[in-house]
Each structure stands twice: as C-alpha cells, then as structure tokens.
Chains A and B, each alone.
Chain A
Amino acid sequence: MADLTYREAVAEGIAREMRRDPSVVCLGEDIGAAGGVFKTTQGLFEEFGPARVWDTPISEQAIVGAAMGAAMTGMRPVAEIMFSDFLAVCWDFIANEMPKVRYMTGGQVTVPMVVRTANGGGLGFGAQHSQAVENWAFTIPGLVIAAPSTPADVIGLMASAIRSDDPVMFFEHKTLFASKGERPPEGHMVPFGQANVVRAGDDITLVGLAWSMPIVIEAAEQLAAQGISAEVIDLRTLVPLDASTVLGSVARTSRILIVEENPLQGGWGGTLASIVADEGFYDLDAPVKRLAAANVPLPFATHLEDQVLPSVATTVTTAAAMVNS
C-alpha cells in the first residue's frame, strides 16, 4: 500500500538508524520540538528527546563544523541545512573540510556524518530558496552524494548514509515531500552506487535523479504511446556514480537523454555525458543529449519557473526526435 510520504520517510529513515545505533544524533535549525520547517524530523524529538535531537542557532558553519568534530570523535551526526541554498554559507566545511580531512591526515581520522538538505525548485520560493545544487557538491572529490526519488529509497539510502564512514551529502527534494510510496520493511537498505532501472526499454535511455524522475517516468509513458520504448534509470547517487549501469543500457538502446534539474552549465549530466561519449561512443546512434535548467537564476513566478526547468513535454519531444532522426 502506497501510504508513506517522502516527507515521513525522511523522519522514519533517521529514526530507524537512531533506534539501532545510540551514536546517531541530529542537529539543525528548528528540527526539535518544531519537527523541522518541512516536517522532515517530525516525531524524532518526541521519541529520542533533547539528548539526541539538538536545536541550533542560525549558524550553518557551526552546525556542519560541530557535526564534523563530533563525527571525528565517535559520533554519527546527522546535520540539517534547512534549504540547500544555505550550503553556500557553510561551503568551507562542505568543500574544504569534510571531504579532505581523511585524506590530508593520511587516514588518521574519519568523518562519518550526513548533511541533509531540502533541495530544488517547484514551490515558488525564488532564486535563493529553490536551487538544485547537487552539482555544487559534485565538483568536490571526497563527498558521497545521495538524492532519492521515492520514499523507499529515502529510507534505504538514509540507512546507507548514516552507516557510512564517509561524509554524505543527502539531497531531499522539496517537490517530492508530499509524494507517496510503499513503506519498505525494517532493515531496508539501498547501497550507494547502484542505479535503479525503473523501466526497461530498447530505443532510448532516459537518465534522471530525484526531481527529474517523475518527469522521465511520465515521458516514457507518453513515448510508449508513440511506439517508442524508453529505458528509465534513476541514478540515486551521483557519487559513487553507477556509470556501468548507464553504459550497459546505452549499449542496448544506442541513445541517451539525461534530464537534470541543476543548470546546464556545470550540471552533473556533463560528467555522465563525457563518460558515455568516451566509453560508449561506438554504441551510439545519436548524439548524447542533456536537458537541464536554463543558465539563469530560478525565477519566483510559476509560469517563469516553467520556462527555465525541463518538463515532460520537452523530454518527450527531445527523445522522440533522437529516436526518429
């Protein structure tokens, strides 16, 4: 029964890990009694109390930095940065500290922590509360990047993230919070670096992540009505990147369309496209294509935002043109 929302899955995913491991603690703004501004930590404070769910000031550097210090000394902190845009105010910790400490100490210390954040557009919050910034993190070696698209994957990837001994950026998507799915059984885990082939197909491979998954799934439906068989792949994690599943799919379909929410300039699809161009070139019957956000700040008004982001319609049109050319 599809009765678990993505939003509830975040809190449940964290709670499952807190029940099994007392070293898991949460910190962030309004995450305690308030349950989080997106209600993604609802119930944690009630179940685990103030000793394990800590409200912080508006101090993103202190939040991520303190999580690091705790992670390096025996805890498994889960830090919330309310909107992913706010990662910019603690970017030193995301870019210079978390991913580098293990390396530059010659492996003397590990940083087992998770930074969770509400990512992406679609809710009309304007240019400073709507960005899809997974590509920011994707420029930095040393960060695991997870971005689930379903409630079950939220729980499964959260389990992997919290149990990981590496720093994990966990992007939750704002437009997916209300979506529903199956409640996975206790102990459900989704390993990092395993893309999900959501739909099998022969004519073209559609690759998506988080926000773009409902788009590519609906596009595949509409393409089927036109007699085009699309294979749909949900990457689930950007690092590790499951390039072999994508390359294996392209070897059969000979075409690939990558649909991203982040801007075309510097978007993660550029790296994936370069891998396919390099290692899958002789399998291709069409140029590698990407659909991503236009290279403008995300506007406030819905009708303007629609102009900037990829859609089901542009995905269907682009894919059909690739197959029929």
Chain B
Amino acid sequence: MPDGTQTLPVSTQDLRGWYEQLLVIRGTEKAAFDLFMSGLVKGTTHLAAGHEGVAVGASAALRPDDYVWATYRGHHHAMARGLSPEACLAELMSKGTGACEGKGGSMHLTYAPGNMMGSYAIVGSHMPMAVGSAWSAVLRETDQVSVAFFGDGATNIGAFHEAVNLAVVWKLPVIFICENNLYMEYTPISSVTAVEHPAADRAAAYSLPRIVIDGNDVVTVRDEVGKAVARARAGEGPSIIECLTYRHYGHSRTDPAKYRPEGELEQWLMRDPVTVLRDQLVEAGVGEDELTVIEGRAQQMVTHAVEAAKAAPLSDPREAFTDVWADGGSQWRT
C-alpha cells in the first residue's frame, strides 16, 4: 500500500447503509436482466452485478459535489450517486420517466444532480473528460475531486495514457479507478496486456504509486479512495487505483460467458461484495433479524421501481428532436 495514512473510521451505521445500497443496486441489475429476458428492455445492457463494491465504496469517500464519470457498464455508478432504481429501469425501458428521456439508454446513464456526468460507450473516452472536470475545479478554485471509473480493457487505449499523463503534468485532483474484472469483453485481459495489473503496473510510467486492492470489499475501497481523495484535495495530484472484482454476468446481454474456466465464477461468488459486507455486519454484532429487515426493504424498493417503470408511458416521440442544441431544439438551417 502506498502510504501509512490511517484508515477512516467505520460505524455499524455506515455498514448498514452501504449494505442496503449494495442490495438495491444488485436487485436493480437482476431486474434489468429479467426485464431484458422478457423483452421489455431493448438494445443491450452491460450489467455490473459483482462490481457494486467499487461504486458503493468509492461513493462513500466522495462528497456530493465531486464529479463521477463512468463507462457503458455504469448502472452501479449512477445509482451510487443518487439515481433512483426507477429512473434507471425506466430509461432502459425507453420510458418518459427515464433518466435521459429515452435518448441515452443503459450505456449513457447520467445523473447530473449527483454530478454523475455520464456513462460513455467509447472505451476510454471519459477519462480525458474527468481530467477536464478536475482542471475546471482548479480553475474555479473549488476543492472538488473528479473520479473516472473504467474497465481493465480501457488501459490499452490511447485516451487512458493521454489522460493520465496530462493529469500528472497539470497535477490535477482526479482519481482513476480501474474495475479489473479479468476480462476485456470476451478475452482474458492477461492475454492482451503487457503487464500483470493493467492499470496499476502502468502507474509507474506516470510517476504514480502502484495500488491494487480488493474491489469486493466496500470498506477497503472506501479507505483507499479516501486516501486518494485526501491527496487530491490537498493539491497533491492524481491517483490510479486498481480494484480487483468480477462480473457475475457476461460482457453484455448476448454473452453467456462460456469462456470462463470451470469453477471461476463460483470462486468469485464466494467473494461477492454483498456476502463480504454481510459477514462484516454479522461480525459487528448486527443480528439476522435486522439484516432481514434491510434485505426486505431493498427488495421492496426494487419491486416498486420495476412496477413504476413498467407502468410509465414511453417518452414523447417529439423527444427525438429535442436537446441537440442548447436552445433545446434541433434546427440546423434557415
């Protein structure tokens, strides 16, 4: 680990809150999968089930006015920053109550009220943007921090390297958080990458420390991101944090993930972030009855979101011609 900064305190109340957040996101991802299978969600989805620990842990270390940038696998990040499960599922179902009025869909979830600046589906493209929001915070003399979440596959694209280099050169308050789930789409990341740890092993090239952590432990993620946030707010520049995690579903809806070696998923399911946090709660003395109440509440929230999203009308067809320009319209000629 890069420094000896003391870890942040953890209260049982924190753990309870994070557990419920994990459950709501997991439940929403499962609902998205089921809605897809029943034909109510079009296009594609890239589910983050298994990655929730990174989103919940990082969010716990951030302020509401910090900026978050995500990839096309970004439901968990939008929800961790406050997007409701209903607005998430409604967007996937092309409904008028969806987060982006049906113009974004699963791959472009955005929640501006939580400074969640969008989900980007061209690999790596949002990383320079996160550098830009960090630059903006410096220019406006706020102490806001920016976070770019990205997959292991993004570390082999040019925008990653341009972004990290510029962030270091300009000493910007940005944290690059890699969700290393071992697979670049359908291909093991190790078979297409020159280093063992695709993000962390590149850090030295940019004069940054090598940080690899357990991404399935919310508390670990919160602590490590918290240290990076403190460095960023203190004007000490960017960090790269590689979180080891695992995708419970395939890359996208059409991928049954047959390329995984036998037993790998089962092994990772034992390290499921939900299970890890539940064990921590039990260890902290929270009883089964209380856990059951939290689990029931989360389930109820998701069930309600599914019903509400199903009941909502499709977005207005006229929405196709709004929001191209800042005046709200789409006129391009006289």
- Chain A residues packing against B (C-beta within 8 Å): 25, 51, 54, 56-57, 59, 61-62, 64-75, 77, 92-93, 96-97, 101-110, 112, 141-142, 164-166, 193, 239-245, 275
- Whether B195 is near chain A, meaning CB under 8 Å from some CB there, is no
Interface residue SS majority, chain B: mixed
Return the chain B residue nearest A241 by Cβ.
Answer: B333
| Interface pair A105/B129, CB less than 8 Å apart | no
- Please name all residues of chain B whose beta carbon is closer than 8 Å to the beta carbon of A240 when the two chains form the complex: 331-334
Number of interface residues of B (CB under 8 A): 53
A243 to B: closest C-beta gap in Å: 5
| Interface pair A166/B334, CB less than 8 Å apart | no
Q: How far is the CA of A64 from the CA of B166 in the complex (A)?
A: 12
**Which of A57, A107, A243 is close to B323, meaning CB atoms less than 8 Å apart?**
A107
Return the chain A residue nearest B320 by Cβ.
Answer: A103
- Please name all residues of chain A whose beta carbon is closer than 8 Å to the beta carbon of B134 when the two chains form the complex: 69
**Which of A73, A166, A245 is close to B67, meaning CB atoms less than 8 Å apart?**
A73
- Please name all residues of chain B whose beta carbon is closer than 8 Å to the beta carbon of A106 when the two chains form the complex: 98-104, 110, 319, 323
| Interface pair B139/A97, CB less than 8 Å apart | no
Q: How far is the CA of A72 from the CA of B116 in the complex (A)?
A: 11
| Interface pair B129/A103, CB less than 8 Å apart | no
- Please name all residues of chain A whose beta carbon is closer than 8 Å to the beta carbon of B270 when the two chains form the complex: none
| Interface pair B118/A57, CB less than 8 Å apart | no
Interface 9-mer from B15-23, B119-127, B226-234, B281-289 = B119-127
- Whether B146 is near chain A, meaning CB under 8 Å from some CB there, is yes
Q: How far is the CA of A252 from the CA of B108 in the complex (A)?
A: 48
- Please name all residues of chain B whose beta carbon is closer than 8 Å to the beta carbon of A108 when the two chains form the complex: 100, 110-112, 118
Taking A62-B162, A65-B125, A65-B127 as contacts, is the C-beta distance between A97 and B120 under 8 angstroms? Answer: yes
- Please name all residues of chain B whose beta carbon is closer than 8 Å to the beta carbon of A93 when the two chains form the complex: 125, 128
Sample of 20 A–B contacts (CB below 8 Å): A25-B139, A57-B169, A61-B128, A61-B158, A62-B128, A62-B163, A65-B125, A65-B126, A73-B117, A73-B133, A73-B137, A96-B122, A102-B326, A104-B104, A105-B108, A106-B103, A110-B326, A112-B326, A164-B326, A241-B332
| Interface pair B110/A105, CB less than 8 Å apart | yes
| Interface pair A142/B324, CB less than 8 Å apart | yes
B135 to A: closest C-beta gap in Å: 5
- Please name all residues of chain B whose beta carbon is closer than 8 Å to the beta carbon of A92 when the two chains form the complex: 122, 125, 159
| Interface pair A75/B139, CB less than 8 Å apart | yes
- Please name all residues of chain A whose beta carbon is closer than 8 Å to the beta carbon of B158 when the two chains form the complex: 61
* B158-195 to A contact mask, C-beta < 8 Å, 1/0: 11001101100110000000000000000000000000
Taking A74-B140, A75-B140 as contacts, is the C-beta distance between A103 and B132 under 8 angstroms? Answer: no
Q: How far is the CA of A71 from the CA of B319 in the complex (A)?
A: 24
| Interface pair A101/B118, CB less than 8 Å apart | yes
| Interface pair B333/A65, CB less than 8 Å apart | no
- Whether B39 is near chain A, meaning CB under 8 Å from some CB there, is no
- Please name all residues of chain B whose beta carbon is closer than 8 Å to the beta carbon of A67 when the two chains form the complex: 132
Return the chain B residue nearest A195 by Cβ.
Answer: B334
**Which of A51, A59, A97, A165 is close to B129, meaning CB atoms less than 8 Å apart?**
A97
- Please name all residues of chain B whose beta carbon is closer than 8 Å to the beta carbon of A142 when the two chains form the complex: 324-325
A163 to B: closest C-beta gap in Å: 11
| Interface pair A107/B163, CB less than 8 Å apart | no
* B81-115 to A contact mask, C-beta < 8 Å, 1/0: 00000000000000000111111100010111000
A263 to B: closest C-beta gap in Å: 22
Q: Which residues of chain B from 291 to 330 have any CB-CB distance to chain A below 8 Å in the complex?
A: 319, 322-326, 328, 330
Q: How far is the CA of A73 from the CA of B326 in the complex (A)?
A: 15
A62, A68, A239 interface centre (most CB from chain B within 10 Å): A62
| Interface pair A109/B110, CB less than 8 Å apart | yes
Q: How far is the CA of A57 from the CA of B158 in the complex (A)?
A: 14
Return the chain B residue nearest A243 by Cβ.
Answer: B333
- Please name all residues of chain B whose beta carbon is closer than 8 Å to the beta carbon of A107 when the two chains form the complex: 101, 322-323, 328
| Interface pair B334/A243, CB less than 8 Å apart | yes
| Interface pair B324/A103, CB less than 8 Å apart | yes
- Whether B61 is near chain A, meaning CB under 8 Å from some CB there, is no
Return the chain B residue nearest A141 by Cβ.
Answer: B324
* New contact pairs (5) apart from A61-B128, A96-B125, CB-CB < 8 Å: A57-B169, A70-B136, A142-B324, A193-B333, A244-B334
- Please name all residues of chain B whose beta carbon is closer than 8 Å to the beta carbon of A243 when the two chains form the complex: 333-334
* B41-84 to A contact mask, C-beta < 8 Å, 1/0: 00000000000000000000000000101000000000000000
Return the chain B residue nearest A101 by Cβ.
Answer: B118
Minimum-distance CB pairs A-B, first 8: A69-B132, A65-B128, A165-B326, A69-B129, A66-B132, A106-B100, A62-B162, A106-B101
| Interface pair B162/A61, CB less than 8 Å apart | yes
**Which of B98, B140, B170, B334 is close to A54, meaning CB atoms less than 8 Å apart?**
B170
Taking A62-B162, A65-B159, A105-B100 as contacts, is the C-beta distance between A72 and B129 under 8 angstroms? Answer: yes
Taking A92-B125, A244-B334 as contacts, is the C-beta distance between A75 and B159 under 8 angstroms? Answer: no
Return the chain B residue nearest A107 by Cβ.
Answer: B323
- Whether B130 is near chain A, meaning CB under 8 Å from some CB there, is yes
- Whether B131 is near chain A, meaning CB under 8 Å from some CB there, is yes
Q: How far is the CA of A243 from the CA of B136 in the complex (A)?
A: 38
- Please name all residues of chain A whose beta carbon is closer than 8 Å to the beta carbon of B334 when the two chains form the complex: 193, 240-245
| Interface pair A57/B324, CB less than 8 Å apart | no
| Interface pair A62/B326, CB less than 8 Å apart | no
A165 to B: closest C-beta gap in Å: 3
Q: How far is the CA of A104 from the CA of B102 in the complex (A)?
A: 8
A311 to B: closest C-beta gap in Å: 29
| Interface pair B136/A69, CB less than 8 Å apart | yes
| Interface pair B166/A62, CB less than 8 Å apart | yes
Q: How far is the CA of A106 from the CA of B328 in the complex (A)?
A: 10
**Which of A51, A59, A74 is close to B136, meaning CB atoms less than 8 Å apart?**
A74
- Please name all residues of chain B whose beta carbon is closer than 8 Å to the beta carbon of A62 when the two chains form the complex: 128, 131, 159, 162-163, 165-166
| Interface pair A69/B110, CB less than 8 Å apart | no
A269 to B: closest C-beta gap in Å: 14
B218 to A: closest C-beta gap in Å: 27
Q: How far is the CA of A72 from the CA of B117 in the complex (A)?
A: 8
| Interface pair B326/A66, CB less than 8 Å apart | no
B108, B118, B137, B139 interface centre (most CB from chain A within 10 Å): B139
